[in-house]
Amino acid sequence: MNESKAMILGCAGKSLTADEVRFFRDERPWGFILFARNIGEPAEIRDLVASMRDCVGRDDAPVFVDQEGGKVQRLRPPIAPNYPAGASVGELYRRDRGTGLRASWLLARLFAYDLRRLGITADCMPVLDVPVEGANDVIGSRAYGRDPRSVAALGRAAAEGLMAGGVLPVMKHIPGHGRATADSHLALPVVDAPLEALRVHDFAPFKALNDLPMAMTAHVVYTAIDPDRPATTSAKVIQDVVRGEIGFDGLLVSDDTSMKALSGDFLEKAAAILAAGCDLVLHCNGVMEEMAGIASLTGPLAGRSLERARRALDVVGRADETEEAMVRAEFANYFEAVA
C-alpha cells in the first residue's frame, strides 16, 4: 500500500481500455469506484474489478460503489433487487425504534452480500445528512429523517451491517449536506446557518459516528466557518470541524472532483483538497485527461493518511457467518417488494 497514490479513480466503461490499464499501472491509485456505466453482467463486473486490482498489483485495492437504495443504487435488477431508500427505513424507525434499527442493519447486510459476490468491497453509505425545510432535494429521500438522533442511530446500524458483511462503509457528506439549497453536482451550495445550529443539527450524526473508518466530504460552503471555500478544500473546516469538533480521525476522501461545485482545473482541485487535509482525492467520471491532472498533483499515501487507510481496510473481508437466505427472509417482513 505504501506505493499507492492518494486517489480513488473511475473508468469509462464495462472493461478497461489499454490506455486505462497503462495509466493505472503507472499512477497506482489506492482504490477505484464504479458507476452505472461500468455495470454489465455479473461476470463482467467481477472481471472489471479483478483487472483494476491487477493493474495496481494489490489484491486488497478497495473498489467502491454508491449503493444506498432508493434513487441512488448502482446495482439494480437482475443483479440486485431494487431496495428501499433511507427515508423508508426512517419511517419504520418512527413507528417502532427497534424495528427500524433492525431493518437498517438488515438492508446494509444485504448490500454486503450483493457487493462481495462481485468483488466490490466498499459502499459509500450511510448518508448522515439531515435535511431542513427548503433544502435542495439532492439528499431528499436518501436521508433517514430530519432528526439528528434518529439519523445517527440508523446510520450506525447501517454501518454495522456493512461491516458485518466485510464491506467498508463511507459515511457522507461530512460535516453535513442537509441544508444545501443547491445540488453540488451542478453548483456550489452556500449555507449561512449560524455555527451553533450547525453543531446541534448538521454535525451531530457525524460526531456520534466519529469512530467509523471512513468518511466523504461535502462540497458545501459554511459561511460561519469559512465563507470562501467549500468543506472539501477548506483547511479550517477539515482541521477545526471534521478533525477537531467532530473528532473524526478516520480516512477522509473528497466527494467527486468532477462535480460542478468545485472550481479550477483538476490539478488545482487535487492540490487544494490535499492541502486542506483530506487523505484521498476522488475522481469518478473516468475521463482520462481529468484523471491525469489529478494524478500529476497527487503523491503517495504516507504518514497519518497511510495509517488511516490501513485501519480502514481492516474491516474488509471479515464477514460474519449469517446466512443470506435468513437475512433476506427477515428483511421481507419489513419490505416485501425486495424479498
The residue annotated as part of the active site, out of 66, 114, 129, 255, is 255
Residue 12 CB partners (closer than 8 Å, separation 6+): 20, 37, 286, 287, 288
Amino acid found at 10: G
103, 335 contact by CB (below 8 A): yes
Q: Is 201 a catalytic residue?
A: no
Instruction: Name which of 45, 99, 109, 119 is nearest 325 in CA terms.
Output: 109
**Residue 185 appears among annotated catalytic residues:** yes
Handedness of CA 47, 116, 67, 129 (dihedral sign): negative
Which of 19, 185, 192, 314 is catalytic? The answer is 185
Positions marked catalytic: 185, 255
